[in-house]
Amino acid sequence: MANKAITEKVLCYIVRDDRLLVFRHVDYSWEEVGVQVPAGTVRAGEDPHDAALREAREETGLAAFGIVRKLGVAEYDITPYRAEIQRRHVFQLALHEDTPERWMSREEHDGEGEPTRFECFWIPLQHAHVLQSGQGALLHRLLER
């Protein structure tokens, strides 16, 4: 088997009133992409803290985020989708603005290609086991104070 590339990623657990902010891709089925939290690639030279705030803003369309704490790092092998190991820096974020229960958002990808459309919504933390692709790996750390 060929060596797999390691990609630095961030994952954002945005929590309010024992609920987790998640989204689904509007243009893909649940079976393909499931329910996700804001996440993405750390850009070259970018600090993971800054990447977490940027990804949360880009994917939700909201702005008033703050880092509560870094929960740790988890690795996830995304094979067979790609021969890649994702090294995920997982952060707990606070949101300091009101939101509806559900809203539509879109990520513009720095103006390159078509935007990605999302439906954002809140789920009870106890239902967060539904997160796709190992995104829930460090949810238990939210309970540690």
Write out the DSSP string of 29-82: -HHHH-BB-SEEEPPTT--HHHHHHHHHHHHHS---EEEEEEEEEEEEE-TTTS
Distance CA(46)–CA(55), nearest Å, equals 12
Tell me the pTM: 0.93
Residues 38 and 56: beta-carbon distance below 8 Å: yes
| Among 30, 20, 117, 134, CA closest to 78 | 134
Residue 56 has pLDDT above 60, yes or no: yes
Q: For residue 66, give the CATH number of its domain.
A: 3.90.79.10
- Percent of the chain topping pLDDT 70: 98
Distance CA(39)–CA(93), nearest Å, equals 12
What pLDDT score does 61 carry? Answer: 96
Enter the tokens of residue 95.
Answer: 């949101």
What pLDDT score does 69 carry? Answer: 98
- SS3 for 136? coil
Distance CA(105)–CA(133), nearest Å, equals 21
Q: 28 is in which domain, residue-wise?
A: 5-143
Residues 63 and 31: beta-carbon distance below 8 Å: no
How many domains does the structure of the chain reveal?
1
Mean pLDDT of 63-90: 94
What pLDDT score does 16 carry? Answer: 95
